[in-house]
Amino acid sequence: VVDGVIATGYVDDDNLFVTGGSGGGVLTSWIVGKTDRFRAAVVAKPVINWTSFVLLADNPAFFAKYWFGAFPWEDGQQEKYWKRSPLSLVGNVVTPTMLLTGEQDYRTPMSETVQYYTALKLRKIQTALVRIQNSGHGIANTPSNLMAKVMYILAWFEDYRA
């Protein structure tokens, strides 16, 4: 898809950036674990480790039953959880990556964000952690939080513009 958009001529392929929140945060963290083509990334309110997510998020029985079919400790499940976890790819990441999550996010808890941030720091990858105060999963629910989110993302991308 990215190659197709570049082929249209409307995109500066020297300045590709990627971001997403919630499911998009999962995908963004997965993408930077699979490719180095983006100059920078912003991973917002992600799931990084499906085991810890299922055990800490706001509806553990639902997530385990309907998203995985079993709890992580049941026979053979841990491998299935790990294979779907972006944390399993953190060893490949070279893209400067900012993480952004609401402090009161119970859907994708701050602990998910902190795990990825810590792993990136340990690998000496350029990273930043932004905690949006007074915010749950819907970071943009207030105008000030929406503005803060957008400003953080744009500033991060501007820092890595070619």
Q: Is 22 designated active site? A: yes
Catalytic residue, from 22, 29, 85, 135: name it.
22
Residue 158: CB atoms within 10 Å: 10
User: Cα separation of 63 and 65, whole Å?
Assistant: 6
Chain centre to alpha carbon of residue 154 = 16
Catalytic residue, from 29, 52, 137, 144: name it.
137
Nearest to 47 by CA among 74, 61, 76, 27: 27
User: Cα separation of 26 and 45, whole Å?
Assistant: 8
Positions marked active-site: 22, 137
